[in-house]
Amino acid sequence: MSASTVFDSFLFRDAFGTPQMRAVFSDESCVRTIVRVEVALARAQAEVGIVPREVADTIAASCDAARLDRARLSRDTALVGYPVLPIVAQLAEQCGQAGNHLHWGATTQDVMDTATILQCAEGLSLIADALDRLREHLRRLATEHVDTVAAGRTHLQHALPITFGYRVAVWLSALDRHAERLATVRQRDLVVQFGGAAGTLASLGPGPEGLRARAALAAELGLRDPEITWHVARDGLVEIVGLLASIGASIGKIGTDVAISCSTEFGELAEPFVPGRGASSTMPQKRNPISSELVVAAAKLLRDKSSAMLDAAVQDFERATGPWHVEWAVIPEAFLLLSSSLAQAADMIAGLRVDPARMRANLDLSGGLIVAEAVMMALAPALGRQRAHDLVYEICSRATDTGHGLAAELRADPHVVALLDDDQIEQLCDPAGYLGSARAMTRSVTDGPAPHGQAR
């Protein structure tokens, strides 16, 4: 079968996903996970006495995803509209008489939702590991450049001096918070689904057996047992995809900063050099920032995945009439997009080429105007903040018009020289002397908690 999307295209799939994440959300994984849920359900029900133990043992021994007829599954799924009934039909045939107890008291959505949650659990584990790798690359980079002075930019113009390590630490701080959110989401939202036709477990009787079976199923699969059926309460999956999109946006911000810094006019950064990567078909000199571009694209696509999940969460009564189906497309694609974004970003940051000399040269492009605030704050105790602001504003305008630079215009202004000597002006015009708490804040991030299970 020919591929028709970037997610399964042999040309584009590694730009919009990773092999590991594709395996988690592949057709084969989906089928295997559904079979796993059906077997776990039989075991859980045997544990609480709903089905005979020997029946559950037969089901566990007989159900084999590898022996399912794929062509038949494809035809029957297209007919039924869901894969669970076609899978259960074939599994029942594999189990003989024991198959009469297969899928006992369950509804299609119970099995599909639980299978989706299991895939999400595996996907989130991959995301957590990839996020930790990226965070460590950023931590190393921020530590290495904690004192590398660079131009801070607001509205794409020079603002105040910062350090490159500070900029990287800001990137890292967002990902550190995302790691905390990820741990919370994995604890809160990986929840089993088992409620029967309308969510009430009525098919298992009025007693406690239904709730006991659900708890046993959750334990069997390593998932959380919910307080109530969540067939039409989709906030958990919305939160998972929303977090994926949020992480993707933070990585997209990194990609944006890196891509701009790689531009010829900036020249402060370069993505790792690999022969042929980022090459142009017509311009031999080009080395385009491909990884940055891909993470920005992923961020934009992930936003729409989160939006679609929010839309799909608006469902009717006890079973949705279509929004549920949106998740089947959105969830795998969201995981694929973020997996690619994390992989691209990790490769980019691990080998990022930093040019401190160019950063320092760029600091001087404005002739020292980047430290105008430092001069203003030095004059403010004597003149008042507003008068100092107005005076330095006038001096900056003259420096721009004459091209003489800030220091020269300060030395030529009688109001300034009445308050500041040459050495003070020299010190105030050194960008490295006006970094505030940048170093301390960078260290507070780089010296923060290590990824789970790692020593710092």
Residues designated as active site: 155, 280
- Measured distance between the N- and C-terminal CA atoms of the chain, rounded to whole angstroms: 48
CA-based torsion, 331, 333, 338, 340: positive or negative:
positive
Q: Which amino acid makes up residue 438?
A: A
Residue 331 contacts residue 136 (beta carbons within 8 Å): no
353-354/157-163 β-pairing: unpaired
Name the token pair of 87.
């899978």
CA dihedral 26, 31, 37, 41 (to 10 degrees): 170
Residues whose CB falls within 8 Å of the CB of residue 60, separated by 6 or more in sequence, listed in order: 39, 42, 43
Residue 246 contacts residue 70 (beta carbons within 8 Å): no
